[in-house]
Structure 1
Amino acid sequence: MSSKTKPTIVWALYTVSLVAVLTSFFGIVLAYVWRGSDPNYKEVYDKQIRRFWTAGIGWALGLTLFVFAAFTDTRPAGSGVSLLGNVGLLIIIITQLWFALSALISMFLIPAPSSNGKTPRKFA
């Protein structure tokens, strides 16, 4: 397997998380494992790891708002989700779209190592 294939697999797993959310967890595990074994693409793996945890903050914020709204809602049961709950859901949806679509774009922009074997720093 070429060294450029491994980062592409991680980006693909992140992209597929748009429809199967658990694939992003497989992607982050592979990024951590492969980061140490492939120094030419260390910056790419670092970017993938950073992207996952940045999205994790968005997911946690949205979920926290949604759960908080559910527990503090005083309206009768069956009357729908409160505004705060809808904001939480919107944050989760926007975060997931950003995460998957930016991974799709990044998958096609993985640079080849330069002549000295290092990936260009401007990419990371």
Structure 2
Amino acid sequence: MDQLQVAANAPAALELSVPYVSQDAALIAARFDDGALTGRSLIWEVFEQDAVDPVRYGLCLVKADGEPEVRIPVMGLTPGRAYRYRFLDGVNSSPEGRFITAMQRDTHRAA
């Protein structure tokens, strides 16, 4: 498995969080303690718990006003599944965050 190492000059996540989770979506968020990341683009990746390849990924811009942070809505996830996520500066990886999507509600009711 080709894993990126969390290096001393990796995106320094002060706080990783998932403020919203539903059956098929999540809002992943990170605040960074490195002002040098302000206004820079980062790659974000979401993986199923034990997967090597991401199920969702993209680019984001670290906010230039206020605290350096990102908030990414991730759609199309599987209900009741464990996921992990990270941010990359193109070379180095942040620590990983984790979340579990909500279980699918029973849509069939007995009469």
**Structure number with higher strand proportion:** 2
Asked which structure has the greater CA Rg, the reply is 1
**Structure number with higher helix proportion:** 1
Common fold, TM-score beyond 0.5?
no
After TM superposition, the score normalised by the length of structure 2 is 0.27
After TM superposition, the score normalised by the length of structure 1 is 0.25
